[in-house]
Amino acid sequence: MQRLGIIFLFILFSGDIFSQSRKTENVVVVTLDGMRWQEIFGGVDAALLKDSVYNRNIKGLTEKFWSQDLAERRAKLFPFFWNVIAKQGQLYGNRNFDNKVDNANPYWFSYPGYNEIFTGYPDTGVNSNDKILNPNTNVLEFIQQQKGYKGKIAAFATWDVFPYILNAQRNGIYVNADNDSLKFNSPEFKLINDFQFLTTRPIGVRPDVITYLAAREYLKTYDPRILYIAFDETDDFAHGGMYDQYIGSAHAQDAMIADLWNTLQASPKYRNKTTLLITCDHGRGDKVKSNWKHHGSKIEDAHEIWVAVIGPDTNPIGEVKTPMQLYQKQIAATIAQLLGFTFKAEHPVADPVTTIYKN
């Protein structure tokens, strides 16, 4: 009896040691709407750069972002991705190495993509960008039920459909989207709130930088354990055929992500215990060059996406150059596993990407 007891204690104890090897206590997710893997891994596109139909600033864009050298070119556009994540984290989705990340949903537009990211379930019933409350349980509300997470999850989005995608009405997660008024009593929040109401709205919703600054202020003030930031400008400028603006927004988003990572690493509450995961909702066309503007199931390559991760449990293997097939639906369970949970819901949930959180 006594020996059995000791063995049992040993099992309990070793289980504890295993869970303690996981360092992630917080997860931050950032999405770049419709940002193509072609620019993430290849930098500015040579054909689109020279095309005056799409680029109204050929000289300026060439000076700032062009290089014959691929490594230099992509680092000019995405310096944080290539100088920091490529050295300390992981990048998936470079199809030139047969490293593939794809939508599992058959629609290749925004709401179905975000549903897939957060529910792990490419529900074919989710097939519209309309403001419809999502029936599927997402990983954020699943984690909110776990000990220590109540009131510790927040989302800041540029697009005003996010309160529906994440179904904030059902789960009470704080989702601040477009011109939602920031009901906080600090001068910083007051200033950001003034900005969002006074700014021009070039894409019809508040600019991404305001979404970012509101999220950063919330992070500093309320210490969320999961923070989601959803940028939008890249998609809108691409639909508008404005390659110079699309590239400018992509570059600004890289800078905001760098600022976010520096903010996290400067805080004792987040430093070396926070994983940052960056991805997109869908791709866009490329094989027919003019299709870079478009996405959706009629655009043959618009299901091609990418994922980047940096954090204390993520092996720093950089750009993954081995043949592989990942799907967007695996992200939800991966977010849960980073925090030590197995995401279960009333719908099927795809397996996590183990290489993101296991050494």
Site for Zn ion in 34-73 (CB under 5 A): 34
For Zn ion, the nearest residue by Cβ is 110
Q: Starting from the edge strand earliest in sequence, which strands make up the sheet with 318-319, in order?
A: 174-177, 153-157, 226-231, 26-32, 274-279, 307-310, 90-92, 318-319
User: How many whole angstroms separate alpha carbon 197 and alpha carbon 65?
Assistant: 32
Which position among 235, 244, 313, 319 is part of the footprint of Zn ion (CB under 5 A)? 235
Closest approach, Cβ 102 to Zn ion, in A, equals: 15
User: How many whole angstroms separate alpha carbon 155 and alpha carbon 58?
Assistant: 36
Altogether, the residues listed in the chain come to a count of 359
Closest approach, Cβ 110 to Zn ion, in A, equals: 3
**Two structure tokens written together for 169:** 């009405």
Closest approach, Cβ 231 to Zn ion, in A, equals: 10
Closest approach, Cβ 201 to Zn ion, in A, equals: 18
Distances (CA, A) of 144 to 166, 231, 256, 343, 355: 13, 23, 26, 11, 25
Closer CB to Zn ion, 54 or 107, in the complex:
107
User: How many whole angstroms separate alpha carbon 193 and alpha carbon 108?
Assistant: 33
Closer CB to Zn ion, 116 or 281, in the complex:
281
Per the CB < 8 A criterion, the answer to whether 167 and 139 are in contact is no
Closer CB to Zn ion, 89 or 113, in the complex:
113
Distances (CA, A) of 204 to 140, 160, 179, 232, 269: 28, 10, 11, 11, 36
Closest approach, Cβ 134 to Zn ion, in A, equals: 15
Site map (CB under 5 A) of Zn ion, residues 116-155, x = contact: ----------------------------------------
**Two structure tokens written together for 145:** 């039920």
Closest approach, Cβ 159 to Zn ion, in A, equals: 8
Site for Zn ion in 253-312 (CB under 5 A): 281
Stretch that binds Zn ion, among 2-10, 41-49, 198-206, 234-242 (CB under 5 A): 234-242
236 binds Zn ion (CB under 5 A): no
Closest approach, Cβ 239 to Zn ion, in A, equals: 9
- Measured at the alpha carbon of residue 49, what is the angle toward residues 107 and 200, in degrees to the nearest 5? 70
| Residues in CB range of 261: below 8 A, 6 or more apart | 80, 84, 276, 310
Closest approach, Cβ 282 to Zn ion, in A, equals: 5
Distances (CA, A) of 181 to 87, 159, 178, 227: 39, 14, 9, 18
Closer CB to Zn ion, 34 or 122, in the complex:
34
Beta bridge partner(s), residue 156: 176, 229
Closer CB to Zn ion, 301 or 313, in the complex:
301
Which position among 32, 33, 224, 336 is part of the footprint of Zn ion (CB under 5 A)? 33
Closer CB to Zn ion, 34 or 207, in the complex:
34
Which position among 24, 90, 110, 253 is part of the footprint of Zn ion (CB under 5 A)? 110
The contact set with Zn ion (CB under 5 A) reads 33-34, 110, 235, 281
